[in-house]
Amino acid sequence: MQTEADYYALFEAYQRGELAAGARAVFEARLADEPRLHQLYAEYLELTDTLVAYGERQRTQQTISGLHQAMRAAEMAPGPQLTHTVNPQLRLSRTERRLRAFWSGHRATVGVAASVAVLAVFSTLLGLEAWRTARTVPSSGLTALRLELDQLRHNQQVINHRIDNRQDGAPVSAPLRENKFSGTGFALTAEGYLVTSAHVIQGADSLQIEGHDHRRYRAEKVYADAKHDLAILRVSDPRFAGFGRLPYVFKAGQAELGERVFTLGFPRADVVYGEGALSARTGYRGDSAFYQVSIPVNPGNSGGPLLDERGNLIGVVSGRQDDAQSAAFATKSSYLVRLVDSLRNRQPAQPYHLPRASQLAGAPRAQQVKRLQDFVFVVKVYE
């Protein structure tokens, strides 16, 4: 498998004209046919343009500094001040006198301007790197679906009051302070691991999950993959006894274009069902790690499960496109399966036992939803 360094070497050879005619034609055909390669090439061009601009600014700053030092040395030299050009028989020209007067009056300003230019370049580079590595802030035109909870505060307080005053003797965890954001998550393993979107838990000081039956548990982040907008959580509440057998399986291959799909999520206090179709095999701007689906989703749906008609989990809801009605995006389940496999290798003691058999295949939709909702949760973020 080619690494990013391999791709950059290929891009550099292409830019320098070092590829043979046949290899160049193959590369240009791949650029037209492979959205991911096109995206990497665009990022390479953006990075190299920034570095070239930085080099030019640095050379300019060095030239200014050299002139500055030379003029200061001349001013500080003993003896009469320089009043002639190299030819002592000629007086300084009018233009030279104006330049010297300008430099004497604005030396500090020019130095500050050069420093600001250098700082601006470093800020640009740092910002570009942060965007490439984190990518937690959606691109322009793409809305993340983490819900800010001011609009739901009253409803949440009512629910908390009912829970805290239950009469059936069921244990309830102590209430946390009011949460600031929320999204959706769902069970990954029976032992207490969950999945949500990475942007949902960004900046979280503490986390809590709550099911449709209003049972609440404290949770903690295990791992976050910002590039694919995936996060794995673990229930850390001592009262938690496990999710039980999960009714769905995770699809490792591609879903089919036009397949009917559905999701559950928490854009409000109770669970909401949505259905539609898989409308594209790639996500926003051709990102091959995502599907596009025609399902109306809202803030709070991020991190929700996306399932096909047989009840196979095919994706994790992530965001929606601003300028396209019902155009939502979901991280492909194949990337989630790869992430779990990599975590098994890093943390072999962790019990990542993904479900192997589905209980949803062939069941009517209402029955699928009824079984599924016990494994879908509100993810509450406290800062």
Q: Give the pLDDT of residue 139.
A: 47
Residue 370 lies in a domain: yes
Looking at the structure of the chain, the number of domains it has is 2
pLDDT the model gives residue 265? 93
Are 115 and 199 in a shared domain? no
**Considering the domain boundaries, does residue 116 fall inside one?**
yes
Phi, psi of 168 (to 5 degrees): -85, 0
Q: In the prediction, which pLDDT does 136 show? A: 42
The CATH number that applies at residue 345 is: 2.40.10.120
Q: Examine the domain organization and report whether 127 and 165 are in the same domain.
A: no
Same domain, 124 and 165: no
**Domain membership of residue 349 as a residue range:** 143-383
Are 185 and 299 within one domain?
yes
Domain boundary among the residues 92, 107, 133 is at: 133
CA distance 184 to 317: 9
Give one DSSP letter per residue of 92-115, joined into a string: PPHHHHHHHHHHHHHHHHHHHHHH
Question: 236 and 198, same structural domain?
Answer: yes
Q: Which of 133, 161, 189 is the last residue of a domain?
A: 133
Sign of the C-alpha dihedral computed for residues 56, 58, 64 and 67 taken in this order: negative
Q: Are residues 188 and 330 in the same domain?
A: yes
Domain boundary among 97, 114, 133: 133
Q: Are residues 245 and 274 in the same domain?
A: yes
Residue 7 included in any domain: no
Query: What is the predicted pLDDT for the residue at 198?
Result: 94
Question: Using CA atoms, how far apart are residues 266 and 304, in angstroms rounded to an integer?
Answer: 8
Assess if residue 15 is contained within a domain: no
> Which DSSP letter does residue 173 get?
P
| Contact criterion met (CB below 8 Å) for 333 and 316 | yes
Residues 97 and 244 in one domain: no
Residue 192 in domain: yes
What residue type is assigned to position 65 of the chain? S
In a domain, 357, yes or no: yes
- The total of other beta-carbon atoms located within 10 Å of residue 173's CB is 15
Render each residue's pLDDT in the chain as its tens digit; 383 residues: 667 677 778 878 888 888 888 888 888 888 777 877 877 877 778 777 767 766 677 777 777 777 777 777 766 666 555 444 444 444 556 666 666 665 566 555 555 555 555 555 555 555 555 555 444 444 456 666 666 655 444 444 544 555 555 544 444 444 445 667 889 999 999 999 999 999 999 988 999 999 988 899 999 999 999 999 999 999 999 999 999 999 999 998 899 999 999 999 998 888 999 999 999 999 988 899 999 999 988 888 999 999 999 999 999 999 887 765 668 999 999 999 988 888 877 665 567 788 888 999 999 999 999 999 999 999 999 98
Same domain flag for 86 and 164 = no
| Same-domain check for residues 341 and 370 | yes
User: Is residue 377, in this structure, part of any structural domain at all?
Assistant: yes
Q: Is there a single domain that holds both residue 359 and residue 227?
A: yes
For residue 48, tell me if it sits in a domain: yes
pLDDT at 223: 92
Same domain membership, residue 296 and residue 196: yes
Distance separating alpha carbons of residues 49 and 68, to the nearest angstrom: 29
